[in-house]
Amino acid sequence: MAVKDPVCGMTLEEADAAATVDQDGTTYYFCSEDCAEEFRNDPASYT
């Protein structure tokens, strides 16, 4: 299933995600650990 990295906007397949973050019952998928870390630092900016 195709998903969108909320930080950089890249579309990727769930299976290809470099990192995931569970936030308030939702799983977010990221193209890189850098994008995941940026999300973790300020999730309100991306949700």
Which of the 8 DSSP states describes residue 45? G
Q: What is the model's pTM? A: 0.92
21 strand-pairing partners: 28
Per-residue pLDDT of the chain (47 residues; tens, 9 = 90+): 999 999 999 999 999 999 999 999 999 999 999 999 999 999 999 98
Distances (CA, A) of 15 to 6, 19, 34, 43: 16, 10, 18, 22
Strand-strand pairing, 19-23 and 26-30: antiparallel
Range of the domain at 40: 2-45
Structurally, how many domains does the chain consist of?
A: 1
**CA pair distance 31, 24, nearest whole angstrom:** 20
